[in-house]
Amino acid sequence: MCTHILVPLDGSAYAERAVEPARSLAEKDGARLTLLTVMVWFPVSRLHVPTLDQGSKARGRQYLEEVRATRLGAASVPVDTVVQLGTPAESIAEFASAAQVDLIVMSTHGTTSIGRVRHTLGSTAWKIFQDTPCPVLLIAVYRPVAQASSCGMSHILLW
């Protein structure tokens, strides 16, 4: 039984496929659901400007609120949204550990899979799968988004 489910999102339709299965699991177990997006930030870059970071955070919050409204609507479980600056896999793993997440539900591919879905796992999914302290439920994206089943449950890999 889960009490806290994390759904990492990167702005892609592929990543958003994980929202509905995560919601179903959260509602079944009465778990809290957290939508997380990581805005890429390279702290050693000469281009680092704090105002850009604040703009990134604002865009991330807006994106997560749109996902919450369009994909979760009247969810019967608590839904939190979190925006972090950093590198995706590392930030997701750190959040999962710090927030005591019981389960991560995510797609096998996100924005990095565009045009090359032939690989078994995307690089971020692979890193998260290796580095997180909790189980990871992967939603496969072998078919184009427009052809996905309505609930997405027929395309789940449990690792």
pLDDT, residue 133, reads 83
Higher local confidence (pLDDT), 11 or 46: 11
d(CA 97, CA 4): 11
Name the token pair of 60.
């991330």
**Residues near 36 by Cβ (< 8 Å), separated by ≥ 6?**
6, 7, 8, 9, 81, 82, 83, 84, 92, 95
Confidence class for position 149, pLDDT limits 50, 70, 90: very low
Q: What angle separates helix 123-131 from helix 88-98, to the nearest 10 degrees?
A: 30
Length of the chain: 159
What value does the mean pLDDT take over residues 54-77? 90
Decide if pLDDT at 82 tops 90: yes
- Domains of the chain in start order, with CATH, are 4-158 (3.40.50.620)
* Residue 28 φ/ψ, nearest 5 degrees: -65, -45
Q: What is the pLDDT of residues 95-125, one digit of tens each?
A: 999 999 999 999 886 655 444 434 445 577 7
How is the beta sheet containing 32-40 ordered, strand by strand? 79-86, 32-40, 4-9, 103-107, 136-139, 156-158
